[in-house]
C-alpha cells in the first residue's frame, strides 16, 4: 500500500470534518470589521477543495513534534484580500509552537489560484477564513 497516498487520503477525509468558516469585510471607512453577505464565494469549504488538497500535500510534520508525540488540530485564521493575497495569518487555537509554526507556514504558502474568490455585488471583497490544519501522528510515522 502506498503510505504517502494513504496519508494524503486520510488527511483529506479528516479535513472533511473541519469547520471552515468565512465572512466578508465591508470596505466602509467607518466600520472595517462589519460583516456582509457574500453573493458568490466561488468555491471552498468542502474537504475535496483545492485548498484542502494543497494543505494536505504540503504539510511537513516536524520531526521534533513527532518525537514529542504532538498531534491534533491547529486552527488558523487568515484574510484573503480583494486581490487574492493572504494576509493576517494567525493561530486561533494552537497545540505547540512546533505545529503552530508549520500550520502558519503552509497557510502562508497557499497559491492564489487555490483560494476562493468571494464577491459582493459583483466586486471582489476581503474574506476571513478559519481552517483546521490536522497533524495526525499515527499516520505520520
Give the pLDDT confidence of 83-119 residue by residue, as tens digits: 889 999 999 999 999 999 999 999 999 998 888 778 8
What is the phi/psi pair of residue 57, to 5°? Answer: -75, -25
20 neighbors 44 (Cβ within 8 angstroms): yes
Per-residue pLDDT, 43 = 42
Per-residue pLDDT, 96 = 97
Element (H, E) at 7: helix 3-16
Nearest CA among 111, 109, 2 for reference residue 59: 109
pTM of the model: 0.67
Q: What is the largest CA-CA distance in the chain?
A: 57
- Our measurement of the distance from residue 1's CA atom to the centroid of its chain's CA atoms, rounded to an integer in Å, reads 28
Amino acid at each position: 500500500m502506498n503510505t504517502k497516498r494513504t496519508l494524503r487520503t486520510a488527511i483529506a477525509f479528516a479535513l472533511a470534518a473541519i469547520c471552515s468558516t468565512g465572512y466578508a469585510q465591508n470596505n466602509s471607512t467607518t466600520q472595517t470589521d462589519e460583516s456582509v453577505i457574500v453573493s458568490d464565494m466561488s468555491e471552498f469549504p468542502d474537504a475535496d477543495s483545492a485548498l484542502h488538497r494543497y494543505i494536505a500535500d504540503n504539510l511537513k510534520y516536524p520531526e521534533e513534534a513527532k518525537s514529542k508525540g504532538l498531534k491534533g488540530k491547529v486552527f488558523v485564521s487568515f484574510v484573503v484580500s480583494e486581490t487574492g493575497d493572504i494576509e493576517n495569518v494567525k493561530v486561533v487555537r494552537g497545540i505547540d509552537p512546533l505545529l503552530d509554526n508549520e500550520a502558519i507556514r503552509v497557510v502562508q504558502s497557499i497559491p492564489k489560484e487555490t483560494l476562493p474568490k468571494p464577491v459582493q455585488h459583483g466586486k471582489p471583497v476581503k474574506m476571513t477564513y478559519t481552517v483546521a490544519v490536522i497533524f495526525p501522528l499515527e499516520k505520520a510515522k
